[in-house]
Amino acid sequence: MQKYHVKTVRVNGIPNRVIADPEEKLAKIIRNQLKLTGTKIGCDCGQCGVCNVIVDGKVVRSCIVPWKSVAEDAEILTIEGIGTPTKLHALQWAFIVHGGLQCGFCTPGFIMASKALLDENPSPTREDVRDWLQKHWTACRCTGYKQIVDSVMDAAAVLRGEKEMEDLAKMLKPGDSVWGSRYPRPNAVYKVTGTWDFGDDAATKLPEEVLFAVPVCPETHHAKVKKIDIAAAEKMPGVAKIVTAGDILANKGTNRIRGQVGSPTATTDGWERRMIVEEGDKIRQWGECVAIVCAATEKQAREAAAAVKVELEELPVLLHVKDAMKPDAPKVYDEIEEIDGIRNCFNKRPLIKGNDPKAAIDKAAHILEEEFYSSRQPHLTLETDCGFGYYDEEGRLTVQTKSICVYRHLLMISRGLGLAPSKLRVIQNNMGASFGYKVAPTNEHLIAACVLATGRPVYMRLNMKEHIVRTPKRSPFLMKIRIGANENGKIVGAEHTWYVDHGPYSESSQDLTNKGGQFFLAPYHVDDLRGCGYTFFTNHRWCGAFRAYGAPQTYWGCETAIDMLAEKCGMDPLDFREKNLIRPGDTFPSGQKSEVYPLQAMITRIRPYYNIAKKRAAALSTAEVKRGVGIAIGIYNSNDDGPDDATSNIELTRDGVILYNTWEDHGQGADIGCVGTAHEALKPIGIRPEQIKLVLSDTAKAPNSGAAAASRCQVMVGMAIVESCRKLLDAMRRDDGTYRTYDEMIAEGIPTFYEGYWKATLRNNEGEVQHCTDMDGATGQGYPFANHMFGIFLAEVAVETKTGKTTVEKFTLCGDVGKINNFLVVDGQQMGGIAQGIGLAIKEDFVDVKTHNNLLACGLPYIKDIPDDIQLIHMETPREFGPFGAAGTGEMPLSAPHAAVGNAIYNAVGARVKDLPITPEKILAAMKK
């Protein structure tokens, strides 16, 4: 007999009698029973603070507070009790105007923790704020934390009566531009008030017939599935259906997913990914699904999933690319041919630029020859993978997930499910970040299979452990680099071989492997280059997109190598870089000229900061704590590799305009991206930002704008928006230059709907305008990118000589992302990228599924891991083929910050660590050497 505890508690000031399981956690009671979904659940084990509420004046992580320990008459304050969209609390206002949020999943938790702090200490210092948020394990993966501290400090000033809250509605005066401003993103007001429904919140509003789906994933890296026995599980309470591969095959689906391998040089056709593993087939990575239990409740589904019996024959496991390439290694796929006789290698991407540099390097005054390894960085979004499906009003099987490429996902899964694309619909839910992992279908096919098999709405949500071990990761690169420099410190040639561990799926591996050639020494003038990238199957976690996709790997090798070569040449690392910079007329490794050459100006701009940093490090170093300064340069693209296009439509209405496109929002700010661009383009008709309505990321309502990846949306979708606005303005313009109203357009029978289209465009090396091209498969030469982003990263670190513990004390980024649409967004993206770069450098990893299965163990950076002193310097060189001169933003800041940290550690203590992450143990070992 289940006994319940009944208590009266005051929730946001209102008495509630609540009857609940004494062991149930307060977070679940608040969300499921009190229906207050502003309180989120992320880690569900006290590591992230997204569930923070205030109980009797104290901030608590409600996911670890059992109902039995909540006192009778307790006062519980949730985000809903603090303020509303029309009556904001000072903290909510401050988080909006300082850009203290991006995806917003953590925001209610931060606001609750900060409220408790300000109630206790109305005049905190910045360090007090940081100490408090650290003490309460309140984490953010997006922002980089500095803007959060800015927000709390400003809210405190308002609450003390020293400052007024500016009226958000009046921030923009008539005639002002949204473009180039700090105008807040439209959804911020909902995020700070807990009223922005993420997937798990929207799921609480689904029809009551909804089933909860739990995948059955045997705990093995590699095994043959001999038998799947669902008989006992099927009979368990609440179970509606256990879905297997047989259900998909019965619908005439192929049960496969096709990624974007699409390469003439690959030996796989890209169809090797199974939706659900069948009896007799193999599991090739941890977390592969063999069945899905659909039951009335999550508890029932989980219990039944545990009762599914799977008989396995364990097979040898390959968890490192070095093992995968051994001649006697087992094969991950017997049927897929090897490249060049190299075991498990399925693709090869050569790079041939200029003359063979071998002889020049052999004869060079200084030669650097080294091997580097980059880690399998985990994405660590605080919202776990979730989504639901149902049949819509037109009978289309509809899935709503965290997809950041709704059209691509639709096409990747339709054939596998046995559905015509027109019978599928994909919609993006509001999401608590992705950082690229959702370029991959992770649950779309599974949810759709469950809806197909049951005919009922289905919800699926992974817990944090499942989320971490079952979603894709950053692909590790093993890099062998050889660079020669002459007696004057000029690079004379370079060679690079990179081995890409891609787990058991080829999906998305082609572009990734290309990056090892495209960005190797990209910031430098090198006429003669030879390289080759090899891509491998292993049994480790399959690798997908992760912010800056291929660049952090490549720059980890080349920017560390450049520092080492500078030392061999007896030169300062910044001087060496400046001497070798790519300059007007020089070409990238792809042979393509850059659209702009801002690096010299950026070096000039950052040099004073560098000089001061060096002096500071020298002055503050002691025998116990040594300080060091490191530099790295990163360049990244702003469109998909090769030909790329996007569509965005516009409709004039009586109230303003509606934009239709699929600029998916990870939290990076698609809404303000669209509004800022359209507002600028529509300036002649004086439209206000709130008159621009958005219909985004629904394949039934919006045209295909491509993926929210490759930092492409501001450029590609932005140009399509501009194009659609241009057509609309042309239609509205009268002969005298004035503009018709909506009513006049209707009266005159002039269409009010216009399509905008853009194809990635550049000037070729001869100065002619053309579209991007695929790279030549034999040489890696071509015109893959229309726009690039540039960054110079300056890290200042302190290293404890006894323990090897490293603290990044200050970080400066001089970036050029073209003209800036919105400074709050760009600053947020750059700060957040730096924070992820620091994590990548010294903390984050995903090696062992049995330990790296929670946020803490994976090395999620908390506020005290990230310096409060982060400085951004914006250079805004206009881009000819970007909207109003813009390039992209999101990925440059994570291209090379970790290499700057590594170089700073070497500068501090002389420890050169060549494999990520740079842990204290590795530092101590390198110091001993």
Catalytic residues: 891
User: Does the footprint of ligand FES cover residue 793 (CB under 6 A)?
Assistant: no
Using an 8 Å Cβ cutoff, are 709 and 439 in contact?
yes
Give 102 or 699: the residue with its C-beta nearer to ligand FES.
102
User: Of 95-103, 252-260, 523-531, 640-648, which part binds ligand FES (CB under 6 A)?
Assistant: 95-103
User: Among 104-112, 163-171, 730-738, 898-906, which window interacts with ligand FES (CB under 6 A)?
Assistant: 104-112
What's the angle, vertex CA 828, arms to CA 143 and CA 179, rounded to 5? 155
**Where does 35-175 have alpha helices with state H?**
90-97, 107-120, 126-135, 146-159
Compare residues 49 and 804 and give the one whose CB is closer to ligand FES. Answer: 49
Minimum CB separation of residue 31 from ligand FES in Å reads 11
By the rule CB under 6 A, 103 interacts with ligand FES: yes
Q: Taking the complex as a whole, how short is the minimal distance between the CB of residue 198 and ligand FES, in angstroms?
A: 10
Instruction: Determine the interface stretch with ligand FES among 101-109, 253-261, 418-426, 779-787 (rule: CB under 6 A).
Output: 101-109
Q: Which of 143, 374, 375, 594 binds ligand FES (CB under 6 A)?
A: 143
CA distance 428 to 903: 40
Q: CA–CA separation, 165 vs 154, rounded Å? A: 9
CB nearer to ligand FES: give 239 or 433.
Answer: 433
Counting contacts by CB under 6 A, is residue 835 touching ligand FES?
A: no
**Helix, strand, or coil (residue 200):** helix
What CA–CA distance (Å, rounded) separates 884 from 63? 46
Question: Residues 6 or more apart from 110 whose CB is under 8 A from it?
Answer: 49, 52, 95, 100, 133, 138, 140, 148
Residue 51 binds to ligand FES (criterion: CB under 6 A): yes
Interaction of residue 104 with ligand FES, rule CB under 6 A? yes
Interface with ligand FES (CB under 6 A), residue from 7, 31, 61, 89: 61
Smallest gap, in angstroms, from Cβ of residue 22 to ligand FES?
19
Token match 């509205």: residue? 732
743: amino acid identity, one letter: D
Q: Residues 643-662: x/- map of binding to ligand FES (CB under 6 A)?
A: --------------------
Reduce the DSSP state of residue 464 to 3 states and report it. Answer: helix
Q: Using the minimum distance from each CB to ligand FES, give the nearer residue, 42 or 180.
A: 42
Q: Which stretch binds ligand FES (CB under 6 A): 40-48, 122-130, 273-281, 564-572?
A: 40-48
Token duo for residue 603: 């070096």
Question: In the complex with ligand FES, which residue's Cβ is closer, 104 or 656?
Answer: 104
Q: Please name every residue paired with 9 in a beta bridge, in sequence order, or none if there are none.
A: 16
Asked whether 253 and 325 are in contact (CB, 8 A), the reply is: no
Residues 269, 275, 278, 280, CA torsion sign: positive
141 binds ligand FES (CB under 6 A): yes
Q: Which runs of consecutive H residues, i.e. helices, occur in 388-470?
A: 406-417, 444-454, 464-470
Of 874, 810, 873, nearest in space to 838 by CA: 810
Question: Smallest gap, in angstroms, from Cβ of residue 779 to ligand FES?
Answer: 41
Q: Which of 920, 921, 874, 861 is nearest to 106 (CA)?
A: 861
Quick one: which of 9, 30, 34, 50 contacts ligand FES (CB under 6 A)?
A: 50
Query: Considering beta carbons, is residue 40 or 221 the nearer one to ligand FES?
Result: 40
- Note whether 539 binds ligand FES by CB under 6 A: no
242 near ligand FES, judged by CB under 6 A: no
Q: Which amino acid is at 747?
A: A
Dist. CA 863–CA 139, nearest whole Å: 7
Q: What is the maximum alpha-carbon separation in the chain? A: 84
Cβ-based nearer residue to ligand FES, 571 or 855: 855
| Closest C-alpha among 202, 26, 107 to residue 16 | 26
Distance CA 859, CA 161 (A): 39
Residues 394 to 413: which contact ligand FES by CB under 6 A? none
- Span from 39-47, 256-264, 352-360, 799-807 in contact with ligand FES (CB under 6 A): 39-47
**46 part of the interface to ligand FES, by CB under 6 A:** yes
Both structure tokens of 584 = 């007007």
| Interface residue with ligand FES, options 433, 813, 824, 870 (CB under 6 A) | 433
3-state secondary structure of 66: strand
Which of 9, 18, 60, 63 is close enough to bind ligand FES by CB under 6 A?
63
140 binds ligand FES (CB under 6 A): yes
Query: In a 3-state reduction of DSSP, which class is residue 550?
Result: coil
Contact residue for ligand FES among 11, 37, 38, 49 (CB under 6 A): 49
**At closest approach, how far in Å is the CB of 202 from ligand FES?**
17
SS3 445: helix
Least Å distance, CB 109 to ligand FES, is 8
Choose, by CB under 6 A, the member of 30, 55, 88, 106 that binds ligand FES: 106
| Of the residues 43, 188, 203, 261, which one makes contact with ligand FES according to CB under 6 A | 43
Answer for which of 26, 37, 44, 502 binds ligand FES (CB under 6 A) is: 44
* Residue 511 found at the interface with ligand FES (CB under 6 A): no
- 864, 133 contact by CB (below 8 A): no
Which range in 30-38, 49-57, 153-161, 882-890 contacts ligand FES by CB under 6 A? 49-57
Q: Where are the alpha helices (DSSP H) in 224-344?
A: 231-234, 245-250, 298-307, 321-324
Instruction: Please count the residues of the chain.
Output: 929
Question: Residue 64 or 746: which CB sits closer to ligand FES?
Answer: 64
Contact pattern from residue 376 through residue 395 relative to ligand FES, giving x for each residue in contact according to CB under 6 A and a dash for the rest:
------x-------------
* Calculated CA dihedral for residues 724, 727, 732, 738, nearest 10 degrees: 100
Pairing of strands 75-77, 52-55: antiparallel
Phi-psi map region of 344: left, alpha, beta (phi>0 left; psi -120 to 50 alpha): left
Give the end-to-end CA distance of the chain in Å, rounded to a whole number: 65
Site for ligand FES in 660-699 (CB under 6 A): 667
Residues that bind ligand FES (CB under 6 A): 41-44, 46-51, 61, 63, 101-106, 140-143, 382, 432-433, 667
